[in-house]
Amino acid sequence: MLYALCFLLFMIGLYCAVIKKNMVKIVIGIMVMEYAVNLFLIMLGYRTGGIAPIIDKSQLEPSTGQLTAAFLNSSVDPLPQALVLTAIVISLGSLALMISICVRTYGKYGTFDITQIRRLKG
């Protein structure tokens, strides 16, 4: 059910990005899509009752120094968290670029409406 809600959130963002004519609404739609993907990735790595994957001496076998099977079976996967953290930083940079393009376009044409911008281009 939660994955379907992530898909619904992604589809709302896609609707805003494709159907809307205002550049700011298009940017908001793209950001909603990015956050839906981030939420989906975090939910893929979630485990009910999972523990943080922080290793100390209590998780190691005393004789071999290997990780215990109980720790490996109960810890949360840290890879999706690292990927989402990287994606958040990249999306922040892309958001700054999109907003700066919107500001420059508004300064040149005086509108955020893409149909009027196409008409004014000549």
Dihedral of CA atoms 51, 55, 57, 63 in degrees, nearest 10, equals 100
pLDDT at 8: 95
The model's pLDDT over 66-91, given as tens digits with 9 standing for 90+, comes to 766 666 667 777 888 889 999 999 99
* Contact present, 26 and 17 (Cβ < 8 Å): yes
What's the average model confidence in pLDDT over 41-62? 72
pLDDT at 2: 86
3-state secondary structure of 48: coil
Please state which CATH number belongs to domain 2-44+76-121: 1.10.287.3510
pLDDT at 11: 96
Tokens representing 122?
């000549």
Q: Where are the domains of the chain?
A: 2-44+76-121
pLDDT band at 60 (very low <50, low <70, confident <90, very high): low
- The CA–CA distances, whole Å, from 102 to 22, 64, 75, 95, 112 equal 10, 59, 44, 10, 7
